[in-house]
Amino acid sequence: MVKISPSILAADFSKLGEQCEMVLDAGADMLHIDVMDGHFVPNISLGIPVLESLHNSLSNAFYDVHLMITDPLKYIEPFAKAGANLITFHLEADSPVQQTIDAIHQAGCKAAVSIKPNTPAQDVFPWLDQLEMVLVMSVEPGFGGQAFMESALDKIAQIRAKAQQMGLNQLMIQVDGGVNPTTAAACVKAGADVLVAGSAVFRAAQPKQAVADLRGQEA
């Protein structure tokens, strides 16, 4: 079944714990933690202490950490210690890819690489057999609430086809940015199986309905 990972960037930070509990109760499979350093992307969001607090109070949740930072390698260990279960870093960041994947695995987390809209799908192919997930950005990273870029669909399909050709049937493909009940179906059809949705879940009048709609199911 398709997994839903609500991005906490769209939450009301004055009641973050309650809001995360709400989306988990609504059927979300994990929590997407968008970390921005004001350097890799033109925005600053949140970091290690926030993840640590969430993990302390909601210890059973699965933390899907999306690092939009210039030097991910430097921060793998502290994010893992703070409670990350899966760590995604950008292929366009400055850290050596192999070392960063190894550091994530050594820290006991699942590893994922993300590509921005202008990075071709082929750029992740050399790393596919070492990754648990690939994240295809369907907006320019940095801000929530942007419109979905259709160009992500082709990239998802190319990565899914390559993974199948390599026998990597367990590889997850995540899509992030502008995913809502209208754009979700095409993502799944292209081969995505983890949908990140910020606004579409946290700002929904009925989060349970929103999660079900994203999955293309009845609530």
Q: Which does 197 bind (CB under 5 to 8 A by kind): Zn ion, ligand DX5, none?
A: ligand DX5
Closer of 105 and 116 to Zn ion (Cβ) = 116
Site string for ligand DX5, 121-160 (x = CB under 6 A): ------------------x-xxxxxx--------------
Sheet holding 31-36, edge to edge: 3-6, 194-197, 172-176, 133-137, 110-115, 86-90, 63-68, 31-36
φ, ψ for residue 151 (rounded to 5)? -60, -20
The option from Zn ion, ligand DX5, none interacting with 10 (CB < 5 to 8 A, set by class) reads ligand DX5
- The single residue among 196, 210, 211, 214 that binds ligand DX5, judged by CB under 6 A, is 196
Q: Does 32 bind ligand DX5 (CB under 6 A)?
A: yes
Which tokens sit at 142? 């940095």
Cα dist. 200→7, 63, 103, 163 in Å? Answer: 9, 19, 33, 29
Which is the catalytic residue, given 29, 64, 176, 213? 176
> What does the alpha-carbon distance between residue 174 and residue 59 come to, in Å, rounded to a whole number?
23
**101: partner contacted, choices Zn ion, ligand DX5, none (Cβ within 5-8 A by kind):** none
- For ligand DX5, give the closer residue by CB, 198 or 207: 198
Which chain residues interact with Zn ion by CB under 5 A?
34, 66, 176
Angstrom distance (rounded) from CA 18 to CA 27 = 15
Active-site residue, 129 included: no
Nearest approach, Cβ of residue 87 and ligand DX5 (Å): 14
* SS3 state at 138: coil
Residues numbered 46 to 105 that lie near ligand DX5 (CB under 6 A) are: 66, 68
DSSP string, 6-27: EBGGGS-GGGHHHHHHHHHHTT
Q: Is 123 a catalytic residue?
A: no
3-class DSSP assignment, residue 200? helix
**Nearest distance from C-beta of residue 87 to Zn ion, angstroms:** 12
Structure tokens at 132: 């648990």
Query: Given the rule CB under 6 A, which residues bind ligand DX5?
Result: 7, 9-10, 32, 34, 66, 68, 139, 141-146, 176-179, 196-200
- Catalytically active residues are 34, 176
